[in-house]
Structure 1
Amino acid sequence: MSGRQRVMVVGAGGHARVVESLLRYVPEVELAGFADRTRASLGERIGGAAVTTTWDELPAWRDAGVTAVALAIGDNAERARMFAAATAHGYRVLGLRHPTAFVERDAVVGEAAVICAGAILGAGCRLGANTLVNTGAIVDHECAIGDHAHLGPGCRLAGRVTVGALTFVGLGATVREGIRIGANVVVGMGSVVVADIPDDVVAYGVPSRVRAAPERPGA
């Protein structure tokens, strides 16, 4: 494997399988293993590799030849925390893109963004750092997505939508053109967003309505 970059996948849940599959399209990397939050899953196999370490052992991963990480964490706050930790310790945080994703030539994709199978990014879109665009999400022209945001599978954003940092847009949600969704927001599954949403709230429904402040459970 000489010359290939050894990569640790940070996360050991269902999204880790997705990230592992994306790494298979990057010939210059070699999967070193998976890192979980706790030691409970050590030794368990995920696809072609095992859980070999925990998140808090990140500084020592270099001893195993690891020079890069791929983040497989759906929770935005946790993904942001591990992005900062990996960067601070000098690891490269990989951006990944499935070959079936379509990204317009003038779209701007931030550092370490992950774009899954079948996603579409239209003309003039901007993705922030460490964003996750999940399977089949559609992001139309001139949308702006903040750092560490997560667009869930099959969600649809019409043109010129703004999504703030650390915001999650759930499975199958639809957002009308020109809408502004604030930072640290959770938009529930299947919602239809027809009005702006402020920072730090949960919104859901058809049409979506602000319901509460978001909870941030461990993931």
Structure 2
Amino acid sequence: MNDISVIGASGHAKVIIDLIEELGYLIGNVYDQDFQKDKLLGFKVTHDFIDIPKQSIIAIGNNLVRKKIAIQFDLELNALIHPKSNVSRYSQIGKGTVVMAGVSINADSVIGKHCIINTNSSIDHECIIGDFVHVSPNAALAGNVQIGECSHIGIGSCIKQGVKVGKNCIIGAGAVVIRDVSDGLTIVGNPGKELKKK
């Protein structure tokens, strides 16, 4: 593999480009359908989504958009793991997932495909993270936590050991989750409570 292309040209893509270069790879094309974006970190932005290379990474924070693109283009790139992360050799990490600097992933944890495991987050032993999940910076998951597909774990949040978070959930910034969370809920506060819709 000589180069890696990047899908997305916003803030998260800047961090991904930095990660790719840190790993010693070259940047291929940078793709974004926003015609107002011409360059990103000096790289030309291509607006044509035809012939996206299989060795591309999706640099888009929105979980549902990332899922849609992953399905559409059937990408084959393995996980990108920052050299300054601490990832157990007994863990498993799916294709297209990015693991940022300062992350800790402990033994027997399983991370799905096209996830974002963001800066300084901590995933303890035997956690199971579904596909297309975003674990935000400084979030902490204790042992045996399960996170369902497309859920977003907010910055600085904490999830107690053994807790199960369903699919398509949002755990708010700084929330402390001590009980299981059903699919589709938004949890905020300490202790975490469901955010009621008006």
Tell me the TM-score normalized by structure 2: 0.93
| Letter paired with 1:24 | E
Q: What residue number does 1:19 align with?
A: 16
Q: What residue number does 1:52 align with?
A: 46
Counterpart check, 1:32 vs 2:32: no
Given that residues 8 and 70 in structure 1 are in contact (C-alpha distance below 8 angstroms), is that contact kept between their aligned partners in structure 2? Answer: yes
Instruction: Tell me how far 1:94 sits from its aligned partner.
Output: 4.4
1:130–1:59 CA distance, 2 compared to 1 (3 A):
same
Q: What residue number does 1:169 align with?
A: 153
Given that residues 161 and 177 in structure 1 are in contact (C-alpha distance below 8 angstroms), is that contact kept between their aligned partners in structure 2? Answer: yes
Gaps of 5+ in 1: 214-219
Which of residues 120, 136, 154 is equivalent to 2:120? 136
Aligned residues: 197
1:67–1:109 CA distance, 2 compared to 1 (3 A):
closer
Moved over 6 A (4+): none
Gaps of 5+ in 2: none
Render the CA deviation track for 1:175-203: whole Å, top value 9, x for unaligned.
00000000000000000001110001111
Q: Matched residues in 2 for 1:51 and 1:35: separation?
A: 6
Which of residues 68, 88, 97 is equivalent to 1:81? 68
Given that residues 5 and 68 in structure 1 are in contact (C-alpha distance below 8 angstroms), is that contact kept between their aligned partners in structure 2? Answer: no
| Letter paired with 1:128 | G
Given that residues 76 and 95 in structure 2 are in contact (C-alpha distance below 8 angstroms), is that contact kept between their aligned partners in structure 1? Answer: no
Instruction: Tell me how far 1:40 sits from its aligned partner.
Output: 1.9
Once the two structures are superposed, the pairs formed by residues 187-206 of structure 1 within 5 Å of their partners are 187-206=171-190
Once the two structures are superposed, the pairs formed by residues 49-198 of structure 1 within 5 Å of their partners are 49-53=43-47, 57-61=48-52, 66-87=53-74, 91-198=75-182
Given that residues 33 and 49 in structure 2 are in contact (C-alpha distance below 8 angstroms), is that contact kept between their aligned partners in structure 1? Answer: no
Instruction: Tell me how far 1:60 sits from its aligned partner.
Output: 3.4
Q: Matched residues in 2 for 1:107 and 1:211: separation?
A: 33
Render the CA deviation track for 1:107-159: whole Å, top value 9, x for unaligned.
01111111000000011100011111000000001000000101000000000
| Letter paired with 2:45 | V
Render the CA deviation track for 1:19-63: whole Å, top value 9, x for unaligned.
001110333x4312321232121x2x222412122xxx32234xx
Q: Secondary structure at the match of 2:18?
A: helix
Given that residues 58 and 86 in structure 1 are in contact (C-alpha distance below 8 angstroms), is that contact kept between their aligned partners in structure 2? Answer: no
Q: Secondary structure at the match of 2:22?
A: coil
Q: Secondary structure at the match of 2:55?
A: strand
Query: Root-mean-square deviation (CA), in Å?
Result: 1.6
Q: Matched residues in 2 for 1:128 and 1:154: separation?
A: 19
Identity within the alignment, %? 29
Given that residues 32 and 49 in structure 1 are in contact (C-alpha distance below 8 angstroms), is that contact kept between their aligned partners in structure 2? Answer: no
